[in-house]
Chains A and B, each alone.
Chain A
């Protein structure tokens, strides 16, 4: 059986693949076509939770996941797509860790770059207090933040903080938020990462 999930946003590739596995006859192989790394990882994870074998081949701008085997009775775990986890990153300082300020800035730059390279991105990134300078004009992390925003990550910066640091007109990515929204985002998060 072949199913095409190219052009489908997460979590549809997982849903489509899962349905194909349920509908297949006599445990036939299912080939799932997707067009991005995140879908590959999510479909692989879903198949693994069912105890199935997955082989991935890459074409020109797409991937084919060939899923084979019997669904293990004991492995009937619920289908969970990594992108459904509500992870929020709270950046509270322009530096990462305490100690040298110069090193701390370097580490924070590296953290935001590494974050942007993850297969599963957070739902939102919050910037407050000293962290409010990071999404503003002239910041070395703008490219990474814009890339994540383009992929659906919500980027919010504390308005009070921008005002305090004289950066109100310098915000270059994302939008301004307030304390009520910050509290809501943090309290509803499954995971909070604070570099």
Chain B
């Protein structure tokens, strides 16, 4: 049985912004991954950054420090 966990999700205005986040995270060892945006957030197409809830302060600090744009922030059990 798949285990669901509380995660943080960052959505982006554009796919390009999501890709930039992935590149930055890869270069700087930030935890998380891009996943399709869950339909409970919105039914449209798009990708979002998913990371463990414990990494919330680190991720948000990096987003602010590096001026990485994101559209929405969610905490969700998936």
Beta-carbon nearest neighbor of A109 in chain B = B34
Beta-carbon nearest neighbor of A143 in chain B = B33
1/0 per position for A25-43, CB-CB distance to B under 8 A? 0000000000111100000
Interface size class of B (residues with CB under 8 A): 10 to 19
Are B1 and A113 in contact, with the CB atoms below 8 A? no
Cα–Cα, bound, A137→B47 (Å): 24
Q: Which of A36, A37, A103, A140 contacts B33 (CB 8 A)?
A: A140
B74 smallest CB distance to A (angstroms): 16
Residues from chain A with Cβ under 8 Å of B34 in the complex: 106, 109-110
Residues from chain B with Cβ under 8 Å of A106 in the complex: 15, 18-19, 34, 47
Residue from the set B18, B35, B78 with the largest chain A CB neighbour count within 10 Å: B35
Residue from the set A36, A38, A106, A151 with the largest chain B CB neighbour count within 10 Å: A106
Q: Which of A37, A102, A109, A140 contacts B2 (CB 8 A)?
A: A37
B72 smallest CB distance to A (angstroms): 18
Residues from chain B with Cβ under 8 Å of A36 in the complex: 1
In the assembled complex, A147 has its CB within 8 A of some CB on chain B:
yes
Cα–Cα, bound, A36→B78 (Å): 15
Assuming the A-B contacts A109-B34, A110-B34, A110-B47, are A102 and B1 also in contact, with contact meaning beta carbons closer than 8 angstroms in the complex? Answer: no
Assuming the A-B contacts A109-B34, A114-B36, are A103 and B15 also in contact, with contact meaning beta carbons closer than 8 angstroms in the complex? Answer: yes
B19 smallest CB distance to A (angstroms): 7
Residues from chain B with Cβ under 8 Å of A38 in the complex: 1
Interface residues of A in 83-137 (CB under 8 A from B): 102-103, 106, 109-110, 113-114, 116-117
Residues from chain A with Cβ under 8 Å of B33 in the complex: 113, 140
Cα–Cα, bound, A180→B15 (Å): 40
Interface residues of B in 1-36 (CB under 8 A from A): 1-2, 15, 18-19, 33-36
With A106-B18, A110-B34, A110-B35 known, 11 other A-B pairs at CB within 8 A are A36-B1, A38-B1, A102-B19, A106-B15, A106-B47, A109-B34, A110-B36, A113-B36, A114-B35, A114-B36, A151-B2
Report A's interface with B, CB cutoff 8 A: 35-38, 102-103, 106, 109-110, 113-114, 116-117, 140, 147, 151
Q: Which 10 pairs from chain A and chain B are nearest by CB?
A: A36-B1, A110-B36, A113-B35, A114-B36, A110-B47, A110-B35, A106-B47, A106-B19, A113-B36, A109-B34
Q: Supply 13 A–B pairs (Cβ within 8 Å), ascending by A.
A: A35-B1, A102-B19, A103-B15, A106-B18, A106-B34, A110-B34, A110-B36, A110-B47, A113-B33, A114-B35, A140-B33, A147-B2, A151-B2
